[in-house]
Amino acid sequence: MRYADFAANDPIFYNHHCFVDLTWELWRQKQQKDPKQRPLQYPPDFEKVKNIDGCKNEYTDILYQYAPRPTCSRTNRNCGSK
C-alpha cells in the first residue's frame, strides 16, 4: 500500500479498509444518542451543505452489520479469536 495508485491491488488493502470501516462504525454508533434524530442534527452554519442520506442509519441497519470483536487478555487467552 505504499503507492496510492496501486493500493487497491494489494490484498492487505481490503483488510485495512474493512478495519477502518469498522472503527468508523463503532465511533458513529457511540456518538449518536437517538438514531432517529441523527439525520436532522447538522453542525451550525452548514445550511447549504447537508448529507442527510449519508447520515441515515438505514445503510447500517438494513444492508450490513458488524459482528462483535473478541476481547483477548492475558487471563482470557481463549477468547474466540481466529
Q: Please report the pLDDT score of residue 49 as a whole number.
A: 58
Residues 12-68: pLDDT tens digits?
A: 888 888 899 889 888 887 877 777 776 666 666 666 656 666 666 776 777 777 788
Structural domain range at position 27: 4-63
| 71 falls within a domain | no
pLDDT at res. 61: 76
In a domain, 72, yes or no: no
**74 domain residue, yes or no:** no
Question: What pLDDT band is residue 82 in, cutting at 50, 70 and 90?
Answer: low
Residue 57 lies in a domain: yes
Distance CA 20, CA 18 (A): 5
